[in-house]
Amino acid sequence: MLKRIAITGPESTGKTWLTKKLVAHYDTNMVDEYARTYFQNREYKYTVDDLVTIAKAQLKNEHSIASFSTGLLFCDTDLIVMKIWSKVVFNYVPEWIEKQVREHKYDLYLLCFPDIEWKSDSLRKNPHNRQYLFELYVNELEQNSLNYEIVKGIGDQRIRNAVSFVDKLK
């Protein structure tokens, strides 16, 4: 049976890096963060409707990759990211995203702690409030009674911590 694992958390907490390391470790598949693809050839200005479009494409890609995956599937983001992004930027979360957060659950959420150095890129905007954002993630995971673990550490220690959580799931 396929186990889905969401890698989630604030910007620049190593989600993509960790996802790739876990995929290599377990020799399995991953779902890329669709927002990066979406903004690849367009200006980084967006509306709530753009966030819904991104969220729908993220889930579509996940369903597609899940259809040919076995064992573990690592997802480099989840709809909690979309919910918090919408809440922080627009002070509003579309009902479709709210509903998907409630209904589309993962077997495990790996919440990346902001204990690694901030790395700037064109899609990141929150270098000074990562701890605040982290607490929003904790609250969301707790309120929805989701199975999550907090991943801390630098480099190989971060990978070992994440692997120990995933191994408990298997």
Cα distance between the two ends of the chain: 10
Would you say residue 126 has pLDDT above 80?
Answer: no
Question: What pLDDT shows up at residue 45?
Answer: 83
CATH number of 3-169: 3.40.50.300
Cβ partners under 8 Å of residue 27, min gap 6: none
Report pTM: 0.94
Q: How does residue 54 score in pLDDT terms, banded at 50, 70 and 90?
A: very high
Give per-residue burial for 71-98: e unless 16+ CB within 10 Å, then b. Answer: ebbbbbbbbbbbbbbbeeeeeebbeebe
Return mean pLDDT, the chain. Answer: 94
Which residues, in sequence order, are bridge partners of residue 72? 3
Question: What pLDDT shows up at residue 124?
Answer: 59
- Average pLDDT (76-88) is 95
Percent of the chain with pLDDT over 90: 85
Rounded to whole angstroms, how far apart are CA atoms 58 and 80? 12
Q: Where are the domains of the chain?
A: 3-169
Residues 144-167: tens digit of each pLDDT: 999 999 999 999 999 999 999 999
